Chains A and B, each alone.
Chain A
Amino acid sequence: MDRSHDRYKQLLMALLDGELAPGERSELEAHLAGCRECRDELAGFRRLKEVTDMVRFAEPDDASWESYWRVIYNRLERGLGWILLSLGAILLLAYGAFRLVEELLTDPTVALLVKVGVGALLLGLVILVVSLVRERLYGLRSDRYSREVRR
């Protein structure tokens, strides 16, 4: 089909989907009367529509639909709660870990090897966490899907 048929390709789609304006219908019918290629195309698309109309997609059951809003509401309600809980847990764990390490490192009865091992463990953990955070931040900056597209 050449470029002059581009308009009729669009009208064929509109005819199939019941979106033709009245003026467009007569225009398309006049064209179809004289164009075998477009008539064949239309017949092919109609056969395709018969086939695809048989396809049914999975739908959630009634119980899932009933609970759909509740799931969203709970997430909206509990979001702040989870953030504060997580923050509190992190602060307490960090403080507890700090006191434990402080006592361990200042205890003269603890072997030097143990102190070095604990130090290396902590340093390795900090490096890994920082690396993870940097990777995440980099990913967020370069992620073209992370922001709503503005049109």
Chain B
Amino acid sequence: MVEDRLAVERVLAGQKDAYEVIVRKYQARAYRAALGWVGNGEDALDLSQDAFVKAFRALGRYDRARPFFAWFYVILRNTCFNFLRRCRRERTVSLDLVPEGAAATEDEAKRAELKRRVWRAIAALPGPIREVMVLKYFDELSYREIAEAAGCPIGTVMSRLYYGRKKLRQELEGYHRG
């Protein structure tokens, strides 16, 4: 967090290149969070970059007492929401969770089907629960980090994870037994 604060101060002092430190540190996390929302790798890449550009322009409003990613995540999430609304495909995103291509084996075909089912189950969750699931499954954040990003207590994070996983379990019931 100290490193982030120093980088932000340098950027605000006019050293645009200092922003690279922040971007490189969080680019993978930003991409994965965006992927969790839109389900498409190319769009996730574009949207995460959009969010970094917006964050740069809003850097003057960033509260340096807060973790940078928690603040940035709100911008990223809103960017993804606007994109989904424009495309009107929140429930019918093109799945790109793994590279396209014919499955070489039955095992690969089963894995591909599993990924589709996991994505559909997560995409069908209510917003606040989906958000926590995305941050856990796609970004692998800790409970504290999720609570900061989502703006809710840690206990709420755990309750939402419980509900989300229970729904996921129901969706994948057939896969467990199969």
Q: Could you tell me which A residues sit within 8 Å of B by CB distance?
A: 6, 9-10, 12-14, 17, 19, 44-45, 47-48, 51-52, 54-60, 64-65, 68-69, 71-73, 75-77, 143, 145-149, 151
Residue of B nearest to A10 (CB): B158
Q: Which residues of B contact A51 (CB under 8 A)?
A: 114, 172, 175-176
- Docked CA distance A144–B161 (Å): 25
- Tell which of B17, B45, B53, B58 touches A60, judged by Cβ atoms closer than 8 Å: B45
Does A148 lie within 8 Å of B53, measured CB to CB?
no
User: With A58-B35, A73-B16, A146-B78 in contact, do A6 and B159 touch (Cβ < 8 Å)?
Assistant: yes
Chain A-chain B contacts (Cβ-Cβ < 8 Å), number: 114
Could you say which of B49, B98, B168 contacts A72, with CB atoms under 8 Å apart?
B49
Q: Which B residues fall within an 8 A CB radius of A? A: 16-17, 19-20, 23-24, 27-28, 31-32, 35, 41, 45, 49, 52-53, 56, 58, 61, 74-75, 78, 81-82, 85, 96-99, 111, 114-115, 118, 136-138, 142-143, 151, 155, 158-159, 161-162, 165, 168-169, 172, 175-176
Residues of B within 8 A of A48 (CB): 165, 168-169, 172, 176
**Cα separation A52 to B175 with both chains bound (whole Å):** 11
B156, closest chain A residue (CB): A10
Q: What's the nearest-Cβ distance from chain B to residue A58, in Å?
A: 4
A-B contacts, 6 listed (Cβ < 8 Å): A6-B159, A54-B114, A55-B111, A55-B115, A64-B45, A148-B58
Please measure, in the bound complex, the distance between the C-alpha atom of A86 and the C-alpha atom of B17, giving whole angstroms: 26
